[in-house]
Structure 1
Amino acid sequence: MRLVLLVSASLTLIVVDHRLHYLELVRQGLSVMTTPLQVAAGMPVKGVRSAGEYFADLAHLQDENARLRREQTELATIRLRQEQLDQENARLRALLDMRERVQIDARVAEVIYAVRDPFSRRVVIDKGLTHGVEPGSPVTDDLGIIGQVTRVYPLNAEVTLISDKDQALPVQVARTGVRAVMFGAGSGLLELRYLAADVDLREGDRIVTSGLDGVFPPGLPVAAVKSVDRDGVGGFVRILCVPVAGVEAHSTVLILKPGKPVDPDTAAAGTAPAADKPADKAPKK
């Protein structure tokens, strides 16, 4: 009887609700009351799903950042390499221009390493006897003189820089033509020696090769006067100069062929040929 009564009541409520919608308000009230329970019941599942998505996105972002860092490093390396190649190309073009200016047989060489000697300034280049390098050959860069070949081996050669204390170079002042000898003074500086205290010399004067040694072509830039101390010992002036070339910096150099000796008397007399000089008179008997 209970089952029949409950089934009958259920069917009656279903029919009445379907026809007249009397239980709509009740259903809405129950929905409002059960919504928090449904949300609370779904939170663990939603939390687990959100955590999974978070860690997946985190791993993806980490992979993406690592890839971007690799690409950035590769691009930076390519950019640095490109800048190095541009500088090297510019230096090679300048060396070729220097070879055209000096109008002498010359070849390009690379500096392999610097000699580990605290008392000298020398470097080793990758050209030697098999490449036609001769002892005493002048070595320049695109700006001026940097040294001289002092030892030659079959595949490489040793260059003594002009900043070495034992290296001497005959030079002259471009402005006045005064001739002197340039020595290495250490610490990358050069020194003009054996000049009188009243010599006409100023800070900033250009020093070039004189060519009197027959090795270095005349007129090649060597240094610029940095300081002039006229209170030197023994009546001589102390003159410090700064090299104009990258003496201890550049890795690409130009090896010149040694020139022919120059007669100091001819150089002092000027450019007049020997044939134009008056002949000496024969002595009378």
Structure 2
Amino acid sequence: MVGHSPPPFFKRGPAPLAKLVFFLVLSLALLVSDLNLRYLEAFRKGLSVLSYPLQMAAATPADFVRNASNYFASLVRLQIENKDLKNKQLQGGERLLRLDQLEQENRRLRALLEARERQPVKSVVAEIMYSAKDPFSRKVILDKGTQAGIEAGQAVVDDLGVIGQITRVFPMQSELTLLTDRDQAIPVMIVRNGLRAVLFGAGNGLMELRYLAANADVQAGDKVVTSGLDGVFLAGLPVATVAKVERDQARTFAGIPCLPAAGVEQYGQVLVLGHREALPSRPPEPEVINKGKGRRARAARD
């Protein structure tokens, strides 16, 4: 090792100031050349393509947090809006049902008022409140009683025909026995041929013409109206339609079920008809009057 100097402890290069000046000059040269020649444009594009996955990876956590918060906020908002829309839909449906019910009641009331104008007797419009407690009878309670002028025995109709008859009356209410009740009967007449009969309630929503011979002139589809023979129901009011005629040679009478013409067990408004006015007595004939005067005159002379 004689004649050799030891290696330096730190390797020394150019001075720092020289390095600074060199890199400044190089940077300025690159800027000027790129500004004029645009030779670094392709390099920048390639670098942006290579660095795009890194940019997306760096932005993914922030985007995930932002999208998650937006998603949950939108979900809560949609649930609230959906709940509000359902409530509005229910309210609208209920309102439509009420309007439809009011429209139907208004239509029935107009029909009842028109039927009231056609009747030659005084009448009272009443409403059915509820059915009687007896499950084996066809009776309903009306909201009008003696204070409204209703009396027992009055006929009850709607705009289509006869419904029943008032059987009991209270000050504020009255009991209506429907024609379909087993204990209810009404004298009727068949429109086609004028055949008189009695119509009884069958207790199952139907009525039946009873005590007619098996060969009676009755056909399915015949219209049945009141005959007026009982002095309660006005003559000519629609009552029922013959559904079918069951003739059996082994039976004396025919089985004739009938469908009610009116809404006997359906509607809520009815018309209570007043009693018919009694017809004036027939005035005596003139000859009878003259004979009576002659007898009184002879008795006075004697």
TM-score (norm 1): 0.86
Please tell me the residue identity of whatever aligns with 1:161.
L
**CA shift for structure 1 position 44:** 0.7
Distance 1:241 1:27 in 2: 98
Kept in 1, the 8 Å contact 2:207–2:260? The answer is yes
2:195 corresponds to: 178
Between Structure 1 and Structure 2, how many residues are aligned?
270
**CA shift for structure 1 position 76:** 2.0
1:129 corresponds to: 146
Please tell me the residue identity of whatever aligns with 1:8.
V
Distance 1:155 1:275 in 2: 45
Unaligned runs of 5+ in 1: 263-272
1:197 corresponds to: 214
Please tell me the residue identity of whatever aligns with 1:7.
L
1:39 corresponds to: 56
Q: Over alpha carbons, which structure has the higher Rg?
A: 2
**CA shift for structure 1 position 149:** 0.8
What SS does the corresponding residue of 1:36 show, helix, strand or coil? helix
1:24 corresponds to: 40
Q: Residues 232 and 158 from structure 1, CA distance in 2 versus in 1: closer, same or farther, beyond 3 angstroms?
A: farther
2:230 corresponds to: 213
Distance 2:242 2:199 in 1: 11
TM-score (norm 2): 0.81
1:209-248 aligned at under 5 Å gives the runs 209-231=226-248, 235-248=252-265
Q: Residues 185 and 232 from structure 1, CA distance in 2 versus in 1: closer, same or farther, beyond 3 angstroms?
A: farther
After superposition, the C-alpha distances for 1:24-62 in whole angstroms (9 at most, x for unaligned) are 355554433322211110011011111112222222222
Kept in 1, the 8 Å contact 2:121–2:275? The answer is no
Kept in 2, the 8 Å contact 1:104–1:257? The answer is yes
Distance 1:95 1:27 in 2: 92
Unaligned runs of 5+ in 2: 1-13, 292-302
**CA shift for structure 1 position 74:** 2.4
Distance 1:243 1:103 in 2: 23
Q: Residues 31 and 201 from structure 1, CA distance in 2 versus in 1: closer, same or farther, beyond 3 angstroms?
A: closer
Kept in 2, the 8 Å contact 1:214–1:261? The answer is no
Between Structure 1 and Structure 2, the one with more strand by share is 1
Which of the numbers 49, 59, 65 marks the counterpart of 2:76? 59
Q: Residues 274 and 227 from structure 1, CA distance in 2 versus in 1: closer, same or farther, beyond 3 angstroms?
A: farther
Please tell me the residue identity of whatever aligns with 1:40.
A
2:4 corresponds to: none
Distance 1:196 1:134 in 2: 36
**CA shift for structure 1 position 78:** 2.2
Kept in 2, the 8 Å contact 1:108–1:253? The answer is yes
Identity %: 48
CA RMSD of aligned residues (A): 2.5
Q: Residues 8 and 88 from structure 1, CA distance in 2 versus in 1: closer, same or farther, beyond 3 angstroms?
A: same
After superposition, the C-alpha distances for 1:161-198 in whole angstroms (9 at most, x for unaligned) are 00000011111111222211111112111111122223
2:21 corresponds to: 8
What SS does the corresponding residue of 1:227 show, helix, strand or coil? coil
